[in-house]
Structure 1
Amino acid sequence: MITCVDRTLDMELVSPVGTRLPVPTHLLYRSQDPLVVEFLFHGLAPSPVSWIISRELLARGTLAPSGEGDVRVWPTGTGPGALLHVLLTPPGGSAHLVAPLPALAQWLFRTYRLVPAAREAEALDLDSHLDRLLNESP
């Protein structure tokens, strides 16, 4: 049984003056945690930098500007050259990354084939998580 959908994608870090630096990125979606996707950015630090983003926010951002606070996502362009912008603003800085929208949308579609939006709550299996938390000894 497939429990994750992953893909390596070349994103680009956009500097304040518009220059772009390639950032190999591993996209990871796990059916056990169906509400989020993980971005693992390689090459920005000695070890991969991980960001967890709402799958719904990412999906909405492929169609129109979405998000507020630490994560904002918006599309630009059309067709094969369309881009998805991801703005991450943790305390003390920000990172503006772009990805090829068609490739990211195709990967995102695969996550919805694994766990459809209407079945996310079932995939969470809250009862077993709660049971494990309540029955663990300190």
Structure 2
Amino acid sequence: MRQSIPSVAYGTVAQVIVEGKPTVSLPAELRYDSSDPYAVCLSLGAPLTSPIDWLFARGLLAAGLHMPAGTGDVQVVPWHRGHPDCVRIVLRSRADEAAVAVDTSTVRAFLLRTFELVPAGRESVHIDLDRALAGLLEDSE
């Protein structure tokens, strides 16, 4: 019998802002899977288009509710100027940058549920080391 992996998914609508282009509303989903306990996924576009998934640290998303967090491809910023109810998730690639505005209450509810599944500081208990090692060995062959 296969053990089910607890997960969380919250659907919402995100405002995608790219400099010099009109703001676009897209379906979005925040996902968390306890088998990858340090990460969250922001999926944009489905079912309207092929989804674009960004995987980043759950701690980064949580910290970004209160103060700017992150310096790399993903930065999370509480957006207070004119948008007090949104969190801005800035996504960067080599060529482009987009800000994704998501309702703060949705992000808070999502994070609360993830921390109920896997409390902060207990992530390592949920990592299947045998599976991770097998994956590393597979990749090296």
TM bucket (normalised to shorter chain) is 0.7 to 0.9
Match of residue 78 from structure 2: 75
Greater helix fraction, Structure 1 or Structure 2: 1
Alignment of 1:1-138 (within 5 A): 3-16=6-19, 19-42=22-45, 46-77=49-80, 81-130=84-133
Q: Deviations over 1:46-74 (max 9, x none)?
A: 41111001100000001100000111111
Q: Which amino acid aligns with 1:75?
A: P
Q: Which sections of structure 1, spanning at least 5 residues, go unmatched?
A: none
Query: What letter corresponds to residue 65 of structure 2 in structure 1?
Result: T
Q: How many residues align?
A: 136
Cα distance in 2 for partners of 1:121, 1:66 equals: 22
Gaps of 5+ in 2: none
Identity %, equivalent residues: 30
- For 1:38 and 1:132, how far apart are their aligned partners in 2? 20
Scaled by the length of structure 2, the TM-score of the pair is 0.83
TM-score, normalised to structure 1, is 0.85
RMSD: 2.8
Q: CA deviation at 1:130?
A: 2.0
CA contact (8 A) 2:74 2:91 kept: yes
- Give the Cα separation in 1 of the matches to 2:117 and 2:93: 30
Over 3 Å counting, the alpha-carbon distance change for 1:40 and 1:132 in structure 2 is: closer
Q: Which amino acid aligns with 1:56?
A: G
AA aligned to 1:31 is S
